[in-house]
Amino acid sequence: MSLYYDPILDVHHKLPVMVAVINALYLAPHRPSDARRLYEAGLGMLGVLGDGSPKVIGERNTGVALLLSREWGLDETATRLAAGADATYEPTWDTGRGEFTWGFGLDEEHPRGQFNAIMAAAEATAPGAWTALATERSRPTSEAEVVGVDFPTVAMRRAEWDADALHLASAPMNDNVVGQPTSWRITWRGDPTGWEVTVGDNAPVDTRVDNDDLVIDTVVGAHRYTVSRVPGSTLGLE
């Protein structure tokens, strides 16, 4: 298997088939049948497919294999890989920062970025999600966009547009920051004055317009917000 080919020098960067899962990740959205062949060949050689005990196959390969297993709905393989990662890779909550990472037994001051990135993607994915990233438009230009979030003090657990309203769900970094003032902006190509914000609990919320953006002033916490058209307003997104 060739990970990289230089056509000028006619040189292949070759890897054994057992790590072909790396190439399968990039092929999956565009050449799914070829990607599946590489995935099955590599994981078959490593003894990951089918039933059995929890399994890990190296920090990055485990994350890639877990992501593709969930992408294709291969639940048995995904369960083995996830169980192996949970037992081996030191999944850790930093409650002070509200941050979840894997240590991978590296004993490093900061979690290893590349390894954590693919494991986080594998944790967050759902069947077909990886393919959709490459083959579907991320959002129509008429949708609203949330910007200026005070991360990591505030994280957005949800920011979803359903054609009638924008639904948001915030989460605090930790209990110590709950109740602190915070704000973020909603930007779009339409007129922001025809929209209002409601909150699903008793959290204070005020809105104002600044440079054609709708600014939401509120407090840090686990809250749900809905941004919708003011009743009777004819204003909308362009």
DSSP assignment of 69-115 equals HHHTT-HHHHHHHHHHHHHHS-EEEETTTTEEEE-TT---SS--HHH
Check if the beta carbon of residue 215 is closer than 8 Å to that of residue 208. yes
Q: What is the pLDDT, as a whole number, of residue 52?
A: 81
Q: Which residues pair with 196 in a beta bridge?
A: 228
Check if the beta carbon of residue 53 is closer than 8 Å to that of residue 40. no
Q: What is the pLDDT, as a whole number, of residue 202?
A: 84
User: Is the same domain home to 205 and 90?
Assistant: no
User: Rounded to whole angstroms, how far apart are CA atoms 93 and 101?
Assistant: 7
Q: Which residues pair with 219 in a beta bridge?
A: 181
Q: pLDDT under 50 in the chain at which residues?
A: 234-238
User: Is the same domain home to 111 and 208?
Assistant: no
Query: What percentage of the chain's residues is helix, strand, coil (to nearest 5)?
Result: 30, 30, 40
Please check whether residue 235 lies inside any domain of the structure.
no
Place of tokens 């930007």: 187
Q: Give the range of the structural domain holding residue 106, as residue numbers without chain letter.
A: 2-135
- Pick from 135, 164, 191: which residue ends a domain? 135
User: Is the same domain home to 73 and 165?
Assistant: no
Q: What is the pLDDT, as a whole number, of residue 144?
A: 74
User: Is the same domain home to 9 and 126?
Assistant: yes
Q: How many domains does the chain have?
A: 2
User: Is the same domain home to 195 and 222?
Assistant: yes
Q: What is the CATH number of the domain that holds 150?
A: 2.60.40.1180
Check if the beta carbon of residue 172 is closer than 8 Å to that of residue 182. no
User: Is the same domain home to 12 and 79?
Assistant: yes
Please check whether residue 40 lies inside any domain of the structure.
yes
User: Is the same domain home to 129 and 42?
Assistant: yes
User: Is the same domain home to 192 and 116?
Assistant: no
Cα dihedral value 72, 77, 78, 84, nearest 10: -160
- Residues with Cβ within 8 Å of 167's Cβ and at least 6 positions away in sequence, in order, are 158, 159, 160, 161, 224, 225, 226, 227
User: Is the same domain home to 65 and 182?
Assistant: no
pLDDT tens by residue, 84-105: 999 999 999 998 888 899 999 9
Q: What is the pLDDT, as a whole number, of residue 191?
A: 74
- Pick from 94, 110, 135: which residue ends a domain? 135
Q: What is the pLDDT, as a whole number, of residue 143?
A: 64
